[in-house]
């Protein structure tokens, strides 16, 4: 049975209790790392700046961006405390394993739905990999 490492546990502890409950169940079956729970506005802004440059008074896309929310004007679900989102990936991390992540996400959503139906968690969980406009595969969040 897999277990979270110290850093994953620390990060998970900054997330909403429903996300903690779901991933404490998931880890029994799939080894995964928690990459982010809560993010401060400054941490959010660091991610926002990736793939962008400040030109003529505004941020302009100059490469591949990983985030559309700057943490100040636009808040992410990671910026709540506790966070309403977590980022995770299968351990050991290989970003090319997108097919494996789809399989993993299906499992996570199945566990979450069962826990929701049984009243063990209060919120439904959704996966950023199912979004149309900006596919965010590491990202799971409370619905709504
Ligand atoms: Zn995220």
- pLDDT, tens digit, 9 for 90 and up, residues 9-60: 999 999 999 999 999 999 999 999 999 999 999 999 999 999 999 999 999 9
- Report long-range pairs for 70-73 (Cβ below 8 Å, ≥24 apart): 70/44, 70/45, 71/39, 71/40, 71/41, 71/42, 71/43, 71/44, 71/45, 72/41, 72/44, 72/45
Q: Is the overall model pTM greater than 0.75, yes or no?
A: yes
CA 137 to ligand 1 center in whole angstroms: 8
CA 76 to ligand 1 center in whole angstroms: 8
In this structure, are residues 26 and 1 in contact, taking their beta carbons and an 8 Å threshold? no
End-to-end CA distance of the chain: 32
pLDDT at residue 88 in the model:
98
**What distance lies between CA 127 and its chain's CA centroid?**
8
Say whether pLDDT at 144 is over 90. no
* Helix (H) or strand (E) segment spanning residue 6: helix 6-12
CA 1 to ligand 1 center in whole angstroms: 26
Phi, psi of 107 (to 5 degrees): -65, -45
CA 49 to ligand 1 center in whole angstroms: 15
In this structure, are residues 36 and 11 in contact, taking their beta carbons and an 8 Å threshold? yes
């Amino acid at each position: 049975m897999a277990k979270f490492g110290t850093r994953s546990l620390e990060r998970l502890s900054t997330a909403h209790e429903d996300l903690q409950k779901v991933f404490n169940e998931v880890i029994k079956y799939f080894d995964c790392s928690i990459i982010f729970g809560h993010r401060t506005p400054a941490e959010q802004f660091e991610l926002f700046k990736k793939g962008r440059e400040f030109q003529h008074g505004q941020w302009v896309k100059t490469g591949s961006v990983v985030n559309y929310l700057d943490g100040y004007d636009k808040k992410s679900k990671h910026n709540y405390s506790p966070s309403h989102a977590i980022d995770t990936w299968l351990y050991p991390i290989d970003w090319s394993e997108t097919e494996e992540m789809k399989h993993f996400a299906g499992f996570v959503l199945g566990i979450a739905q069962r826990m929701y139906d049984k009243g063990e968690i209060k919120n439904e969980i959704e996966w950023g990999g199912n979004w149309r406009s900006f596919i965010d595969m590491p990202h799971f969040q409370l619905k709504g």
